[in-house]
Structure 1
Amino acid sequence: MSVGIMSVNSQGFIINCNSSLKKLLGLNQLTHIRQLEKIDPKLAKLTNSIEASQEKTVTIICKNGQVTLLIKASSFKSNNEQLKLISMQDIRKELDEKELDSWLKLIRVLTHEIMNSIAPVTSLSENLCNQFVKEGEPINANEIDEELIKKTIQGLRVIREQGQGLTRFVENYRKLTRLPKPEISEVLVKDLFEKTLILFKSQYCDTQIIVSIELENDSQTIRVDVGQISQVLINLLKNAVDALTGIANPKIILSSRANKKDGIMISVTDNGSGISPEIIDEIFVPFFTTREDGNGIGLSISKQIMHMHKGSIKVKSTPNTETVFSLFF
């Protein structure tokens, strides 16, 4: 994939740029950042404000159609002049491929869950029907005995349970598509953590695992929907507790620290069983779960909530050593 590159001075003049950048943006000449305003004001503003070591994405429409640009910046000196080196790369194809892959994974899981519910219902209903039919005709009433009635009732109960299970599955799917818009407010991270732990302990009061809090400073604040982010943290804490089953000296750490410029990273760390490399890329797929009693939507909802906060959630895991879920704001 070709990458567009340009060097810019402090006045916004473009000292050098390669042909790939001109081709990417559909321009014949590029001498100043202000020219980017004709393509899209967002692109000009982002290019002018991006700082060294930052990377950002922006979707624009230019002569080549709609493109999603990944923009990265670094700084260097040339003839005692401080310059900014900016690269631009169209990642639309990669995003489309990731989106398609995510949909395929979701479809596989949905198909698996639905077939697991429907197949036994189809088989059982056919079996029950055969009990009441002989040579294509309904049996006589005097052929229906107590044993047949018992079998029929048992079969109908199983069909009812499978139907209820499928209904719950559909309700869980609806939860994924009906998340409310975040109501953002500024809150102390310390208060957010304390409220989350109170809610967590009220739901999982039987756990003996101590959750430690590590704050970079007590005055650190964050702009979030407190209810939604508490929901995310409670889900991560619950997963950590499950992973610590049977672990000697179980530990969970809820921590926060500054992340790049004006950003905050909140982490939930445990020393439990961890996540195997084979499935770590699947855990955010809706309805994917390794637990018999799990519904597989907790991490999917958490990822959506973080996306609505213009943030992200990432995980690193070394099985039987340490697992860290990090929220980036």
Structure 2
Amino acid sequence: MDISSQIDSNKAALIEFLDLHKSKFLNEWLKSIIVNGIDVYNERIFVNGGLMYSLIEKAIVGSLSELELQQLAYKIAKERLEADINIGDFVYNVNLGRSILVKHVLQSELPLKNLQVIIEDINNHFDQFCFHAVSQYTNLKNQELEDQKLFISENHKDKLAILGQISSSFVHEFRNPLTAVIGFNKLLRNEYPDLKYIDIIEHELQQLNFRITQFLHTSKAEINLKQNEEFSIKSLFHELQPLIYPSIVDIDVNLTSKIDDDLIISSNKDEIKQVLLNLLINSIDALKEKDKPRNMIIESFCSQKGIFINISNNGPAIAAEFLKTIFEPFFTTKELGTGIGLFVCKKIIEKQGGYITCQSLEELTTFSIHLPNNLVCIKTGS
């Protein structure tokens, strides 16, 4: 008998042996594998094991195509995903089946030198099966996560749109009488400049108007028709001083300002003003939670990368897990916060093509605004 005929004869004898011991193999494997009690496909595990056993028999005689192996791998990967079972358990079970099968092959009493090539072929097919199954499982899992993210994002956008419509309608109704009150307060200030508490009334009205503007910014339907204008960053902070001065004095804040005198930007002044005011108020609120000294640092400069505005305070550090979500709408760590202030800031800055970040350490928390050089950075001295 030539070598080829001998190999075929050995393979035929091995298949006969495997057919005879199939039930023994499957029962031994089933007793040893990891099975989750909540697996909705528990009844298919034994069936899938039998299918894999049959494919390995086909591989031994050389009649197995890679497509057949791949199809079974894809089928089981889908079942593992739907069962929400750890893929590591699946890989363990497959390799356990490989070990038991190789042990049974070695018990066939065929010449070891003839079995070596067959065992290598079995291992190769198990490796291919694991590769296809884990790859498909990973692809399906990633797609599932992307679908979930998309659903959450779309659901979130729908809620924001509804909130925007409600808040926009409410705020417009509320702003009409507020505008009248602000107007009459200015008339009182002009006629009675020394009237007691007039400054406090104006400050509180401006704060209320600022909060209303924040709610307006949550509406996607909001249209801002105001044109960009050139203004000095330093002068803008000067305009904000009367709004924050009472709070700074009240809690004794040491304010340090480092702003280029000749720094001019072209942007929507009211929106940038709103962003800066919100960050200043947040810094003051944080400093209220700290013992003296209470320090706040404002700095702004222009470089080749654009314009940077930093507002820092030495208040309590923001927890690391919160840094990822503080710019999300309705997230707040304040007891009476709305959770829209930083979201609005982010929205305004991104509309200008920039970005806003936060870095918080024990000694200093810094909110940084970056605006692109090609859009807004102009120096009067250049």
| TM norm structure 2 | 0.40
Higher Rg of the two aligned structures: 2
Structure with the bigger percentage of helix = 2
Structure with the bigger percentage of strand = 1
| TM norm structure 1 | 0.46
